[in-house]
Amino acid sequence: MTNAIFLLFLTTDDLNVITVDWSRGTRGIRYDKSTANTRVVGATVGKMVEALTKNAGVSPSYVHLIGHSLGAQIMGYAGKELRHFGQVGRITGLDPAGLNFERYSNEVKLDPSDAAFVDVIHTDGASLWEMAFGIRIPNGHADFYPNGGRNQPGCKRNWWDNIWNMFNGKISVIASNVGCSHSRAIHFFIESINTSCKFTAFPCKSYLSFYTGACDKSCKNGCNRMGYHASKAATGIFYLKTNAAAPYCKN
């Protein structure tokens, strides 16, 4: 996924792209340890941006930080690290991790104060009992909830199927089923970079209202585009529907 985003960026705009490999900080089954490491990695990313500013003249306002799951929370910490130095231009959170973050203050999770513009794509925002991993609450200037922000079309989340697969040793199938909605945010963002389809998202008070057609879809109340071309001109909570497989955009 990282290479795909890397190549698409370079063919779309005149950019410098830096990827962060923190795999050593998230090895094993100790999720609490991985959670704790996000603060350290985020601070390191922040120091790197500060060094680029001091030594290469890079303005923090031109920096766009992107992360998925725990990586999204890392970018939040990076933004916090840079508050004393210069606010980052944009942070995109791709289904930020919810466990160990959602119930805590903004100081320990991605929030709108971490950058001039924070946009978040929520694709797996349900409880852990439902084998979901994303944050449910809005935590950006613009929060996008495709298909309601949970149980993405084309993804299976069935307890009985997973139990059957476990007894039959099909661990990879379980991992694919459980992580499908959580990783869908990445696919949405990648597709949004250079597609002619706009991923138009509509402001609405709830997904139920949007789903039943109770919300205005003329965009006179301020639509936004989910993904790379999201705009800070329209803030709030936005909903849209997508296809179950690529191409995901339906507009």
Active site residues: 69, 95, 182
DSSP string, the chain: -HHHHHHHHHHHSS--------GGGG-SS-HHHHHHHHHHHHHHHHHHHHHHHHHH---GGG-EEEEETHHHHHHHHHHHHTTTT--EEEEEEES-B-TTTTTS-GGGS--GGGEEEEEEE-S--S-GGGT--B--S--SSEEEEEGGGSS-TT----HHHHHHHHHTT-HHHHHHHHHHHHHHHHHHHHHHHH-SS--EEEE-S-HHHHHTT-S--SSTTT-EE-STT--TTS-EEEEE---SSSS----
Give the relative orientation of helices 171-194 and 2-12 as an angle to the nearest 10 degrees.
10
Q: What angle do CA 230, 244, 76 make, to 5 degrees?
A: 35
Q: Which amino acid is at 12?
A: T
